[in-house]
Structure 1
Amino acid sequence: MAQTLHRTPLTRDRILRAAVALADAAGIQSLSMRNLAQDLGVVPMALYKHVANKDELLDGMIDVVVGEIDPPAQDTDWKHVVRLRILSARQMLRRHPWAALAIESRNMATLAVLDYLDSMVATLRAGGFSADLAHHVMHAMGSRILGFSQELFDASRRAGQTGTAEADPPTAMPPEIAARFPHLAEIAMAASHDDASVVGQGCDDQFEFEFALDLLLDGIERLQQQGWTSAHRPR
C-alpha cells in the first residue's frame, strides 16, 4: 500500500517567512520568486496565489520583521518606553540587515510600519506631549524611530548594504584629502571606542546610534517639560 505524503500547506505567512530567511541568508538581491519557490519546493506560479508580485512580497516581509519589535513596556516613563522600543527595532535590523534599505525603498509605509509609528505617537501623547510637539518629535527622530539612521560617512549604505555589520578600524585619510578637509580628518581618527564595544573598535555604529538617540531624547524631554509649542518657536 502506497504511503500518502503530507506536504506543509503553502500559506502567505509561510511564503513571507521563507522570503525573510532567504534574504537574511543571501541578501535581498538574491530574492526572486523563482528562488523562493525553489526553497519552498513549489512551482513559481503557486506563489502568486498568495502574493500578487514581488512588491507585495517585499511589503509582507517588512511587516513580518517589524512585527518582531517589542511592544511598549508597561512603564509610565515615556522616555524609557520609547528608548527600549527603538533599541528593539535596532536589534531587529541587526537580525535582518536588508530591512533598513527595504523600508526606505517603499513609496508608502506598510501597515505594520504605520501601526508601529502610531503606537510611538500614542506613547508620546500618553506621556503628556501635545499633538504639535509629538509631530515635530517624529520628524526629528526620523528613521531612528525604526532603528537606523542615514549615516553621512557610511560607505556600506551607499553600496546598498545596511551598515550594521562590524565596523573596520579607522584609517587615515590620504594626505591631500586630510589637508583640504582638516576637520573631517580630525574627527575620522577620533572615532575609536572602548575595546569592549558591542561591535569592536573603529566607528562604532551602535555607540553612535545610541549617543544620538540619547541626545534627542534628552532634548525632547526638556521641550516637553517647558510646554514647547511651534507657535512660540524662535524665528
Structure 2
Amino acid sequence: MTPLVWERPEPSTRSALSPLNRDRIVRAAIALADADGLRAVSLRKVAAALDAGPMRLYRYVDTKEELLDLMVDAVYGEVDLPAAGGDWRAGVRSLAHGIREAALRHEWFADLLGGRPQVGPAALAHLEATLAALRCAPGIGEDPAALMRALQAVNGYVLGAVRHEVVELRTERESGLTDRQWQETAGPYLMRLFEAGRYPTLARVVADGPHDDPAGMFDAGLTVLLAGLAA
C-alpha cells in the first residue's frame, strides 16, 4: 500500500529552471482556488502556473485528491492555536473564529470541510487543541464519549455556520445583489404576508430581532453552544 502523502519524504531537489517542492505546488494551487474556485485546480493548471511540466508534479503528489488534502492542511496551518492551559471557552472560541476567518480568505476551504477527518499535521494540531480545550469544560474531563459529543456539537455548528456564510457571499457575488438590495426587493412581499397574519413568529423576529454583523452572529451562536456545554 502506498504511504499517505504525509509519510512520503520530499523528493530531492534537482537543478532546474523551475525548481519544485510540495510547498510551492500547494501555494500555487491555493492561489488558483482563491481566484477561481476548486474547478480551477488541476495538476496541469498548477504545473502551468509554476512553469513546469505536469509529469514533474507527480514526483510530489500522486493525485488531485492528495493535492486538495495538502491545500486544506496549509489553510489549517493559518489558524493560530491557543496557549495550553487557558480558559476553555476562550480556546474554543479562538479556534472556531480562526476556521471562519480562514474560510472567508479561502472560500473553497468550506467546501472541503466535513466528511472524513483530515489527518495532515496542521489539521491534527487543530483537532488536538480543540479537544484539549473541550476536555476542560465542566462535566467532560476524562469521559471520551462526552468529549466526542462536545466536539461533534462544536464542529457541526462551526461547519454549518461557515458554509452558510460562504454560500451567502457567493450568492451575492453571482447575483449582483447585495443583502440590502435583496431585502429591498423581497421586503414588500414579506410585509404583505406578515400583515395578513401569516408567520407571526417570523414577523416578530424580523421586526424586533437583533441584526448583527456576520461575525457577531457567528459569535452569538457560539456563545449559546458553549453555555449549553457548560451546563
Q: For 1:34-79, what per-residue CA distance to the aligned partner results, in whole angstroms no more than 9, with x for missing partners?
A: 2211111011121122111111111110011011111122553111
Structure 1 residues 111 and 78, CA, compared in 2 at 3 Å: closer, same or farther?
A: same
Distance in 2 (alpha carbons) for counterparts of 1:188 and 1:54:
45
Distance in 1 (alpha carbons) for counterparts of 2:178 and 2:208:
14
Structure 1 residues 50 and 183, CA, compared in 2 at 3 Å: closer, same or farther?
A: same
Maintained 8 Å contact 2:172/2:179: no
Maintained 8 Å contact 1:82/1:120: yes
Q: For 1:58-115, what per-residue CA distance to the aligned partner results, in whole angstroms no more than 9, with x for missing partners?
A: 11100110111111225531111111121122211111111011223xx422213344
Q: Offset at 1:161?
A: 9.8
Q: Offset at 1:144?
A: 3.7
Letter in 1 for 2:146: L
* Counterpart pick for 2:155 among 142, 152, 156: 142
The aligned counterpart of 1:218 is: 227
The aligned counterpart of 1:230 is: none
Q: For 1:177-201, what per-residue CA distance to the aligned partner results, in whole angstroms no more than 9, with x for missing partners?
A: 766645445545666736xxxxxxx
Maintained 8 Å contact 2:79/2:99: yes
Structure 1 residues 125 and 88, CA, compared in 2 at 3 Å: closer, same or farther?
A: same
* Counterpart pick for 1:47 among 44, 50, 57: 57
Distance in 2 (alpha carbons) for counterparts of 1:108 and 1:92:
19
The aligned counterpart of 2:78 is: 68
1:147-166 correspondence runs (5 A): 148-151=161-164, 156=167
Maintained 8 Å contact 2:107/2:166: no
The aligned counterpart of 1:34 is: 44
Letter in 2 for 1:23: A
TM-score (norm 2): 0.72
Is 2:195 the partner of 1:174? no
Distance in 2 (alpha carbons) for counterparts of 1:89 and 1:39:
27
Q: For 1:134-167, what per-residue CA distance to the aligned partner results, in whole angstroms no more than 9, with x for missing partners?
A: 222112223445694454xx693697999xxx96
Maintained 8 Å contact 1:37/1:43: yes
The runs of 5 or more residues in structure 1 that have no matched partner are 195-203, 224-235
Maintained 8 Å contact 2:18/2:50: no
Distance in 2 (alpha carbons) for counterparts of 1:181 and 1:155:
27
Aligned residues: 202
Q: Offset at 1:122?
A: 1.8
2:61 alignment partner, SS class: coil
Q: For 1:110-138, what per-residue CA distance to the aligned partner results, in whole angstroms no more than 9, with x for missing partners?
A: 21334422321122224563323322211
The aligned counterpart of 1:209 is: 218
Q: Offset at 1:30?
A: 1.7
